[in-house]
Structure formats: C-alpha cells, structure tokens
Structure 1
Amino acid sequence: MKAIIKSLFVIVISLTAVNCFAQGQDAFSPKEVYKSNDLIITQVAPNSFVHTSFLQTNDFGNVPCNGLIVRNSDETIIFDTPTNNESSEELISWVNQELNCKINAIIPTHFHNDCLAGLQAFNDHNIPSYAHVKTIALAKENDFVIPQNGFSDSLTLSVGNGIIMARYFGEGHTRDNIVGYFPSEDVLFGGCLIKEMNASKGFLGDANVEIWSATVEEIKNRFPDVEIVVPGHGKHGGSSLLDYTIRLFQTRHFGDKKISGLN
C-alpha cells in the first residue's frame, strides 16, 4: 500500500511540474520593446523579436513590413532587412546596444525591397549576408545590393549554442521566397509567402498563385510543431496562418472551370 501511495505521489509531482513548465511557456505575452517613427521591435518569445519597418507604396499605402531577430547567448541572426538603410542602422544599433549581442548574419527571404533594401547598412558593418541563389540572381537583374553568400536548397547557421534553418520550398509570392525557422522556440518566419489572418492576396506581380498553396503545404508538413508564425506583413500567429494561406490560394478544377480560394 505504501508503495502504491508513493508511486501516486511521484506521478502527481511529475504532472504538476510539467503543467507548471507548460504554463510558463504559454505565459509569455508579446510586448513592444522599441518604437521610433521608422522602426518597431516586438518581442514574441523570450529570444525572438519581430522588427517592423515601413514601405511607401502606390497601391497599398504605407505598408508595415516584418522581419525576425532570433537570439541565443550573445549572438543573433536576422531575417530580412528593414526597408531602407537608415532603419537598418537603427536596428543594428538596437541589437548591439540594447540586446548586447553580435549579429552573425542577415538573411533576406526574397528579392523585394521589404526584404533587402537595407542590406548596404549590414555590409557596412561587415555582417555576412546569405540568400537563395535565385534571390542573388534577381538582385543582380534589378541592380539591387547583392547578398554575399548563396545556397540552393537549405541553410543551417549557428547562433550561440543553437541554430537557425533557412529553406526553399518552392514558388509562391515570388520565384525565390524562402522561410526561416528557429527550432529552440519553434518560431517560423514565413515572410511574404505567409499571410496574416484575413489578409488579401496582396501584390501578385511576381507571384506563382498556381502552386502557392502547395508550397505552403510543404512547409506545414516540414514543421508540424511550429508554435509561432511570423508573416511578412501584419500580426504573427500560430499554424493557423499556414492554413489560412493555403485556403487563400487554393485552386480546384471542375471540368473546364477553375475556382480559387475554396475551403
């Protein structure tokens, strides 16, 4: 009898510990940690920060554009530059002075201005840049600042004692769009390939809408445990953002008719 009671006591203590840990994970509330006229930084997990800068456009007005900073120990890696060099300088200064961290790399997730228009500032600080080979080719075609290092499928880089992964899954928003993943906090940076909840399809000038959903399906299958998903524009969320993007660009064929956006 004593043995049974002891076993039950151990089980209760173990379940309590697991529950407390889970509550601790869930208890983190996103908070704005920096704001100026040109740059906002929001902490979305203990070591993950969304940076938001702004791009004036003809069709969509002054658009907020997201990137991601991930941290481990005293090192960081950044996905996407802010939208100009001035905002990039502001971001670099904040990471160096407020986080007291080194920036190991900058990774533009596609060739548009909301991803690499601030790249020269990172070059000026001797921060290595990495991008998909298609992004490098498109940057050259458009006379943009060119990322220094290319990869064709996937990239893994160290940050402190952890890693990040960047991977190309296929076309969607552009021919070259990649996503970034921070395994230690299960944070996915989807960039403009992933839409915030209830967003429109947005700019499609360089898109492949026919396979966009299939590309995001591949991402969802590859990262089934993702906790936080950061889109290129708008509010972060969970895996529901992947599901929403898949539905938004889904296409079904009925005879000779093609119907998009079906559930």
Structure 2
Amino acid sequence: MKKVFSLVTLIGTFAFGQIKPIQIDSINSHLYVYQTFNSFQGIDYNANGMFLITDKGIVLFDVPWQKSQYQTMNDLVLEKYHLPVIAVFVTHSHEDRAGDLSFYNDLNIPTYASSFTNSILKKEGKATSKFEIELGKTYRFGKEKFVIEYFGQGHTADNLVVWFPKYKVLNGGCLIKGADAKNLGYIGEANVTEWPKTVQKLVTKHPKINQVIPGHDNWKANGHIENTFKLLEK
C-alpha cells in the first residue's frame, strides 16, 4: 500500500509527531507479525510486516514504514531473539513494503524482490534488491520454509504473497484488505477489475488457511479475504 486513503497522500512527507514504537506479536514460536506506523494529522495508520525466526537468523518480510526504524527493527530482534536479520523479502514496491533497500544492501543483508518490483524501483530511482525472487520456489532457511507467490494484479501490478506451508499461514500483503477495512484505500496503481480474480486464484490454490495476515488494519480479526471480496464488489 502506498497511501492508506486518498486523503493521506502526503504521509511520509508531512508526517509529524513522535513515531509510534514497533509492535510485535507472535503467531507461533517461529512466525511473528510486526506493525509499524505512519501518522497524518495526529492519526496513526499501521502496516503489517512479518518475520520468521530460523536457526540461521531472522528473515524479514517487508520493511518498516519509516526508514528511521530500519535500524531500530534490526536492533530490536537482535536484542529480543538473539538473532540477526539475515534476509529481507519485499512483496511490492511501495514505501511500506520495499521502502529503501539501500539500507540493507549497505549492511550486506541479502535483499529479495521480484523482477517486476525491481523494474518499478529502478524507474523511480530507488534501490533495487540484490537478488530476484524466484516465484513459486520453496525457500529454506534452516528448518523453516516459505514460498513467494504471484497470482496476478490487484492493489498493484506487482503484489506478491508469502505462503508458510508448515503453518498454513498466508502473508497476504496489500493484496488482502483487513476484515475491518471500509474501503480499498489507495487504488492509484490498482487493477480493480483483475483484483477479485487474483484473490480467487489464491483461494483456489490455498483452500485451507489457518491465518491470513492483511497488509494493514487489525490482523487478529477474522474475515480478511471475505471482506476483500466484499469491498471489490462495491
């Protein structure tokens, strides 16, 4: 998601006030959701990222919304779990997903994005990832594994999802709206015609999902995919 509502087009440029601390919640002992925030006119908006704890280190899925929290996040997980961030995978090109990958590249932390996302980042004059995601490949870090998948256009043309087969958890990114969302948010780069078809392909591929993590809003609620379909019908 690039902007939460059309009203909030200046988030990141005119955000002010103290940044809300990173919030971490566990799905299980290996898989976690972390929330970062951006504010506009005193209102906080959240972005849901994830990380996976492996015996090799921590794999981060999407970067903190605020660049000033990149190092904070690295320090936080090192202090809390005694493991460093060893890889960063991003699910699309926006600020709350890919952000500025040069930070991680400069630290020699392997970064991964799709070739499509990298082409967008390059066009916008932003840092690209060091490695390209192999869509459909099962990535393994120690005893943990996950698959990065692309089902089609939706919130953006390049939006990916992450499937954790061991736990049947889906990181839907901004392709999936939160159960409490009232609208589709920023659709300046969306394909609303293809979006429901894309989500249907996802559901067909993964008919049994234990937990869905949407890109924004309250991830602990139920009905994220159902509400996404509902919003797309409007």
With structure 1 as the length reference, what TM-score do the two structures score? Answer: 0.75
Give structure 1 stretches of 5+ with no counterpart.
1-35, 250-259
Amino acid across the alignment from 2:115:
V
Is 2:118–2:129's contact at 8 Å kept on the other side of the alignment? yes
Task: Find the aligned partners of 2:56 and 2:134 in 1 and give their Cα distance.
Answer: 29
Is 1:132–1:168's contact at 8 Å kept on the other side of the alignment? no
Partner of 1:119: 101
Task: Find the aligned partners of 1:80 and 1:108 in 2 and give their Cα distance.
Answer: 5
Choose from 229, 236, 240 the match for 2:212: 229
Give structure 2 stretches of 5+ with no counterpart.
1-18
Displacement after TM superposition at 1:239 (Å): 7.2
Following TM superposition, where does structure 1 have runs of at least 4 consecutive aligned residues deviating by more than 3 angstroms? none
Displacement after TM superposition at 1:118 (Å): 4.4
Choose from 114, 120, 129 the match for 1:147: 129
Is 1:214–1:246's contact at 8 Å kept on the other side of the alignment? no
Could you tell which deviates more after superposition, 231-240 or 217-226? Answer: 231-240
Q: Larger % of strand: which?
A: 1
Q: Does 1:164 align with 2:146?
A: yes
Displacement after TM superposition at 1:134 (Å): 0.8
Amino acid across the alignment from 2:194:
I
Structure 1 SS opposite 2:36 = strand
Task: Find the aligned partners of 2:95 and 2:36 in 1 and give their Cα distance.
Answer: 11
Displacement after TM superposition at 1:74 (Å): 4.6
Choose from 171, 184, 190 the match for 1:207: 190
Structure 1 SS opposite 2:97 = helix
Q: Does 1:184 align with 2:129?
A: no
Is 1:229–1:238's contact at 8 Å kept on the other side of the alignment? no
Amino acid across the alignment from 2:205:
R
Task: Find the aligned partners of 1:189 and 1:133 in 2 and give their Cα distance.
Answer: 20
Partner of 1:240: 223
Displacement after TM superposition at 1:209 (Å): 0.3
Superposed, which structure 2 residues align to 1:124-135 within 5 Å? Answer: 124-135=106-117
Q: Flag the structure with more relative contact order, 1 or 2, with Cα contacts below 8 A and sequence separation at least 6.
A: 2
With structure 2 as the length reference, what TM-score do the two structures score? Answer: 0.84
Structure 1 SS opposite 2:166 = helix
Partner of 1:88: 70
Is 1:75–1:102's contact at 8 Å kept on the other side of the alignment? yes
Is 1:227–1:238's contact at 8 Å kept on the other side of the alignment? no
Q: Does 1:46 align with 2:26?
A: no
Q: Does 1:75 align with 2:57?
A: yes
Task: Find the aligned partners of 2:215 and 2:198 in 1 and give their Cα distance.
Answer: 16
Task: Find the aligned partners of 1:153 and 1:74 in 2 and give their Cα distance.
Answer: 22
Q: Larger % of helix: which?
A: 1
Choose from 77, 89, 103 the match for 2:85: 103
- Between Structure 1 and Structure 2, whose CA radius of gyration is higher? 1
Partner of 2:16: none
Is 2:179–2:225's contact at 8 Å kept on the other side of the alignment? no
Is 2:146–2:162's contact at 8 Å kept on the other side of the alignment? yes
Deviations 1:103-153 (A, max 9, x none): 332111000101122433322321111111110000011112211212363
Structure 2 SS opposite 1:185 = coil
Structure 2 SS opposite 1:89 = helix
Task: Find the aligned partners of 2:113 and 2:105 in 1 and give their Cα distance.
Answer: 14
